[in-house]
Amino acid sequence: MRDVAIISTGMTPFGELWQSGLRDLFVQAAREALMAVGSPSVDAIYVGNMSGGQFVGQEHLGPLMADHLGLAGVPATRVESACASGGVALRCGFLDVAAGASDLVLVAGVEKMNDGADVTNVLASAADQETEVYHGITFPGLYAMIARAHMARYGTTEEDLAAVSVKNHRHGARNPKAQFRSEVTAEQVMTSSMVAEPLRLLHCSPVSDGAAVVLLCPLERAREFTDAPIRIRSSGLATAPMALADRADPTFLDAVSLAAGRAYKSGGVTPSDIQVAEVHDCFSIAELCVLEALCFTERGSAGELTRAGETALGGRIPINTSGGLKSKGHPVGATGVAQAIEIVEQLRGEAGERQVPDATIGLAQNMGGSGASSVVHIFERV
């Protein structure tokens, strides 16, 4: 297996991008990544996308995107794993290069969610249709049940949930590509509209459009293209029962724990080695549960860690310096690749006002549904 590096990135702003279609967003981000390294020919394309067919009526995205980028003929594959689609596309590209099948691989994540689809119903297709959706549950409802279980078991409070949103909006206010570039107070979070008790509007990630792209090559060739390659040190992927009721403990994300364990082991690192991380905060409770599954803190203590400022810029383990899904935005298929881009910028020292000083090892964790799939990547500066 060959070592793999990210040599360039490209990303649109995230938000309600009414003037751009799905293919336009992909091309914008892909051209940025390619032009940054002299527009080389690529051997393969992987496109992470959750639900182009339901959001905008467009499937068969691999050849469509290759054609509109001017690369018709290049092998191009659409990758789907619900909200983890971008992260799993990155893993596919990583394995392609590592195995020696391709040298230059373009990995993209893209989603157009604001063109009129019933977003709640589209997203619900990532839950168990027979045992959950049929009975009326939605994703806010599923994560509300996770939050209630966490509160009952560990004493987690609404203040703990609010602290996640406050922190991530503070970080997102420093990100020029974030959907929401404004800070919020704990009072604003805790008095925002109720969505699914105890989750309020400001506990929830928004509906977003956007695309993100990274270009991969063997580490041994990376210096041909850039003076600042970022090595993908390892990748881990896992699944768990899709239905919340089928899990032994709804407060613990088994797929995250398994994926992280595999990434830590193959990367030869421990949780204490991670200096900055992007995690899947589709709802504020998700960030707390992910931190515990990643072994950044003990079970039940993520709320206390967050309120103490340990996961903020300047803290022990800065989490979601991009603003996370909550503030940066969550165009579902693009999220996993955008997380990787934030870590690349951190490790290159290019994150501006949200820079973590001297970061050399970072982690990105992307998740599908209510935790039925999760992928973890570990990156390092070389």
Mean pLDDT by 10 residues, the chain (382 residues): 97 97 98 97 98 97 98 98 98 98 98 94 96 95 98 97 98 98 98 98 98 98 98 98 96 98 98 98 98 98 98 98 98 98 98 97 98 98 94
Q: Give one word for 97, left, alpha or beta, with left for phi > 0 and alpha for psi -120 to 50.
A: alpha
- The answer to whether residues 213 and 318 belong to one domain is no
- The answer to whether residues 161 and 60 belong to one domain is no
Compute the 3-state secondary structure of the chain and give helix, strand, coil in percent, each to the nearest 5: 40, 20, 40
Asked whether the whole model's pTM tops 0.85, one would answer: yes
- Residue from 150, 203, 280, 330 carrying the catalytic annotation: 330
Which of these, 91, 77, 100, 24, lies nearest to 232 by C-alpha position? Answer: 91
Active site residue 289: no
- The answer to whether residues 200 and 300 belong to one domain is yes
Question: What pLDDT is attached to residue 377?
Answer: 98
CB-CB contact of 90 with 337 (8 Å):
yes
Question: What pLDDT is attached to residue 116?
Answer: 86
Rounded Cα gap, residues 110 and 322, in angstroms: 18
- The answer to whether residues 376 and 293 belong to one domain is yes
- The answer to whether residues 64 and 167 belong to one domain is no
- The answer to whether residues 18 and 88 belong to one domain is yes
CB-CB contact of 266 with 124 (8 Å):
no
- The answer to whether residues 200 and 214 belong to one domain is no
Question: What pLDDT is attached to residue 92?
Answer: 98
Apex 316 CA angle, 314 and 318, nearest 5: 65
- The answer to whether residues 248 and 282 belong to one domain is yes
Range of the domain at 34: 4-118+207-229
Question: Which spans in 236-373 are helix H?
Answer: 254-267, 284-293, 302-307, 324-328, 335-348
Core vs surface per residue 126-153: b (16+ CB within 10 A) or e: bbbeeebbeeebbbbbbbbbbbbbbbee
Pairing of strands 230-239, 373-381: antiparallel
Torsion sign over Cα 218, 219, 224, 227: positive
Place of tokens 């500066």: 381
- Residue from 60, 83, 217, 295 carrying the catalytic annotation: 83
Q: What total of structural domains would you count in the chain?
A: 2
Question: What pLDDT is attached to residue 320?
Answer: 98
Active site residue 83: yes
Beta bridge partners of 46: 77, 107
